[in-house]
A and B are shown apart, each in its own frame.
Chain A
Amino acid sequence: MTDTITLFADARLVDPATDRDGCATVAVQHGRIIEVAFESGFTTDLGTDFEIIDCDGLCLAPGLIDIRVKTGEPGFEPKETLKSASLSAAAGGVTTIVIQPDTDPAVDDPAMVDFIQRRGAALNLVNVFAAGAATRNRDGQRMAEIGLMHEAGALYFTDGDRVIANSRTLQRVMSYAAAFNALIACRPSDPWLSDGGVATSGELATRLGLSGVPAIAERIQLDRDLALVEQTGARFLIDQISTADALDSLARARSKGLEVAASVSINHLCFNEIDIGDYRTFYRLDPPLRPESDRQALIEAVRDGLIDIITSAHAPLPAEDKRRPFAEAAPGAIGLETLLAATLTLHHEDGLPLLDVLRPLTQGPAALLGLDSGVLEPGAPADLVLFDPDAPVVIDAATLKSKSKNSPFDGRRLQGKVIGTWVGGRKVF
């Protein structure tokens, strides 16, 4: 590596971790930030070997961290590979992705964790980490090798979209994981109440003739999970909270002093159930889209910090899985490349300060997963995104880098354009 110093000059630095939003210069050397200077306080001796990137007053923020990314590698490569996912991430200003374990074979042993992380690193694009399965082959019955996967670098443990229905299994998984201080993530969704449902139960689902999932399916399962957290002392992440009811449960748990984190998918912040009105299968999601009142509650929860993390819930699906009648289409949406612009709608339309909008994409996940990125400070890795927060864009799914094009944002007008992405000081987009 050369000793070249890279200066990001005249940037509007937006760093939730240090709560700073202002004009600054950032100096980077050997892949790490060496100085962040506001106004005229720059002190680094540049010598002769340096380059200047003129940020032109645009926003410079820590690269985004997306903790819920599905790919199809190994097993379903036509959907998405680690490479296409990494390219999408880079184009979206996402510098760290955590791959879900629902591959074939599942990521349920240390060799698979190692495989994902090595393959990801070899691409030399973004930081690729793996989440390990909590149970073997995600069967919800037998515990996976949580300790060995933790040692191999798995950042957290989850059965992904599958719920560990057996409370005793989950209790043991949580209690075992506590020995390693390992993080467990669970989707709150009662498997029986949600069985067969494709939309949130209610007037709209009835009118559309779609099988409903009652909203309480989320709260019921979440309350069970939280009770087990309380008993076992596990570190816990609520994966994709989506209803106001469940947010109440989360708030109660927090007020009791339970340390639980919660994530929300960008889709549930941007869309509501009305979007499924013309049976567009790109809005067929799991959990299903919710009434507007839930969406508003989720935005409020991001605003006041109840929700720690926003994810893209990136779920690539090929056309053959989506070009079907609504109820038969596979659930899920891609979102890596649109994550930043979509999240900025909370700033432009819902009036959240830019810092609060970026926090659950940077500092929130970094703190939960113990990453040293997600902050702009000397010593931190130079994982950066430069973006124009106001530039209008029209999303065209066909031009997205993901191998699958199932973007619910297709045709939407958003504001926010990624100008450049750097990982460890290296420009990847």
Chain B
Amino acid sequence: MTQIAAVTDQITERLIPFPAPHFLSAGDLTPPAAQALLDVADIFVDLNRLAASQGGKTLDLLAGRTVVNIFFENSTRTSSSFEIAAKRLGADVVTMPVQASSVAKGETLIDTAVTLNAMKPDILVIRHGASGAAALLSQKVGCAVVNAGDGRHEHPTQALLDLLSLRRAFGDVGGLTVAICGDIAHSRVARSNVALLSMMGARVRLIGPPTLVPGDADRWGCEVFHDMREGLQGCDVVMMLRLQLERMEGALVPSTREYFRFWGLDREKLAWARPGAKVMHPGPMNRGVEIDSDVADDLSVSLIQDQVEMGVAARMAVLASLWARGGSVH
């Protein structure tokens, strides 16, 4: 049996149907479903590391199926990660960036949905700047929809890939203390991670300036801190968020240098966390604003490279599992 065939067997054995018809938010998962997805994703990680000489990396789990990536916001890593994931599963992939689409000509999101639906895709992956856009689309199409980021609402596959990186680094996520730092208020990554990490038994803290942490965030079941020293005390994981530079203009933060001084992660601040703490960032990074290169590039503490690698595997698991719910796996 070739390695590819062996991998396919392992996967079909473990693959569970996705617990919901769409993957719109971290809340669509359950703890056992998340664990099962991670188990499958682990196999995909190994597969992705195979060299061409060992039989290649492409499976035929989604052979003949069409995955459409529609990205209304600029994205490099997420769109290519989804594209590669779908291709590794053997699907036919169409990626539509917004500039080339008819949205630029004034078509509404619903029009686009109806048009796409008429082309009968099997899975739609959408990123959109408006919160709730993925949910709206899911009501108008006949296939599974994956939310690749909607406004400041959710980015559930990011949370899943973060969970995969953490499980591989720590073994178990339950009991870990994870600090999510920075612009919580505008972050879909933070919302999805708070939901999923809490669901998996991690303790989540939110750290940032009061202007970037929602006033009611403590009711998400997280501890809120405005001081990094206090907040990082005893943390196993420090997850930094990207600071959009336009926040300077809206009187949310005075300047990047002040932000870096008080909330940017450097060696000094990292030392306040538990020894051996790991650093994460969903990317793309503003080096010298929310994170110092010295920390970001140190592979002994940084999981940032891993996160990108895990992205493909986690998304493969999601696509395969969604298809397993809707259609049948060979």
Residues of A within 8 A of B261 (CB): 147-148, 151
Asked if B257 is at the interface (CB within 8 A of a chain A CB), the reply is: yes
Q: Mark B246-274, 1 if CB is under 8 A from A, else 0.
A: 00111111110110011000000000000
**Interface size, A (range):** 20 to 34
- Map CB proximity to B onto A364-385 as digits: 1 under 8 Å, 0 otherwise: 0000000000000000000000
Contact with B along A160-190 (1 / 0, CB 8 A): 0000000011001101101100000000000
Of A147, A151, A178, which one neighbours B254 at CB under 8 angstroms? A147
Q: How far is the CA of A148 from the CA of B254 in the complex (A)?
A: 10
For the complex, what is the distance from the CA of A146 to the CA of B255, rounded to whole Å? 10
Number of interface residues of B (CB under 8 A): 17
Measured in the bound complex, the distance between the Cα atoms of B249 and A144 in whole Å is 11
By a beta-carbon cutoff of 8 Å, the part of chain A in contact with chain B is: 135-136, 141-148, 151, 168-169, 172-173, 175-176, 178-179, 232
Q: Does B298 contact A (CB under 8 A)?
A: no
Would A176 and B209 count as touching, CB distance under 8 A? yes
Q: Nearest Cβ distance between residue A174 and chain B, in whole angstroms?
A: 9
C-alpha gap A178/B253 in the complex (Å): 13
Could you list 11 further interchain pairs (A-B, Cβ under 8 angstroms) beyond the known A142-B248, A178-B226? A136-B254, A141-B251, A142-B251, A145-B254, A146-B254, A147-B261, A148-B254, A151-B261, A169-B251, A176-B209, A179-B226
Q: Are B254 and A142 neighbours in the complex by a CB distance under 8 Å?
A: yes
Interface of A is mostly: helix
Give bound CA distance, A172 to B215, whole Å.
Answer: 12
A168: chain B residues within 8 A (beta carbon): 251
- B210 at interface (Cβ–Cβ under 8 A)? yes
| Contact assessment for B210 and A148 in the assembled complex, using a CB-CB cutoff below 8 Å | no
Q: How far is the CB of A132 from chain B (nearest CB, A)?
A: 11
Is B211 a contact of A175 with CB atoms below 8 Å?
Answer: yes
Chain B residue nearest in CB terms to A232: B210
> Which of A143, A146, A172 gathers the greatest number of chain B CB atoms within 10 Å?
A143
Contact A147 B258 (CB under 8 A): yes
- Residue in chain A with minimal CB distance to B210: A175
Q: From residue A286, how far is it (CB to closest CB) to chain B in Å?
A: 25
Closest to A164 in B: B251
Question: What are 13 A-to-B residue pairs whose CB atoms are below 8 Å?
Answer: A142-B248, A143-B252, A145-B257, A147-B261, A147-B262, A148-B257, A168-B251, A169-B251, A172-B211, A172-B252, A173-B251, A176-B211, A176-B254
Which residue on B lies nearest to A108, using beta carbons? B254
Docked-complex contact A143 and B210, CB < 8 angstroms: no
